[in-house]
């Protein structure tokens, strides 16, 4: 991820922007490594998640059950990259983050377009509170 490709519409703390980008980088790393617990550590306890194929998961327990069943067995040829391309601070402790997700494979690239709503906890840690992953079709 490069800082010059991420756009924000409101001034924000450089530390908050960095922390949000680190969450996105951790999503990429944990997906590649099939690190279920590392991925789940990024979610707020009251999170809401919708998969690229429309499965709605409400609450951490549902997200964890799905992730533990799917991520370890996931298979793809190539790799996936994630990049925060737009961060909109709705409040100082709430950010909407648009992600460019590219699956690189020998057959060609395909794209996803996740949107994460992240919230900042009292301890300063940012977590994914809501997520919608959308497959981009030609």
Domains of the chain (ranges plus CATH)? 3-136 (3.10.450.50)
Mean pLDDT value of segment 77-103: 92
Task: Tell me what the pLDDT averaged over the chain comes to.
Answer: 89
pTM: 0.87
pLDDT band, residue 77 (cuts 50/70/90): low
pLDDT band, residue 2 (cuts 50/70/90): very low
Q: Which long-range contacts (CB under 8 A, 24 or more apart) does 108-114 make?
A: 110/135, 110/136, 111/135, 111/136, 112/52, 112/136, 114/82
Tokens coding 45: 């306890």
Higher pLDDT, 37 or 52: 37
Mean pLDDT value of segment 1-6: 48
DSSP structure string for 52-121: TT--EEESHHHHHHHHHHHGGG---SSEEEEEEEEEEEEETTEEEEEEEEEEE-TT--EEE--EEEEEE-
């Amino acid at each position: 991820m490069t800082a010059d490709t991420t756009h924000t519409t409101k001034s924000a703390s450089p530390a908050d922007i960095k922390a949000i980008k680190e969450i996105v980088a951790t999503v990429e790393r944990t997906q590649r490594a099939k690190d279920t617990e590392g991925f789940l550590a990024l979610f707020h306890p009251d999170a809401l998640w919708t998969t690229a194929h429309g499965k709605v998961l409400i609450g951490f327990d549902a997200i964890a059950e799905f992730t533990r069943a799917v991520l370890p067995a996931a298979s793809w040829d190539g790799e996936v990259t994630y990049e925060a391309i737009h961060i909109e601070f709705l409040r100082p402790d709430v950010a909407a983050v648009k992600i460019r997700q590219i699956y690189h494979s020998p057959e060609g690239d395909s794209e996803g377009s996740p949107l994460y709503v992240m919230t900042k906890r009292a301890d300063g840690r940012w977590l994914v509170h809501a997520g919608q992953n959308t497959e981009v079709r030609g």
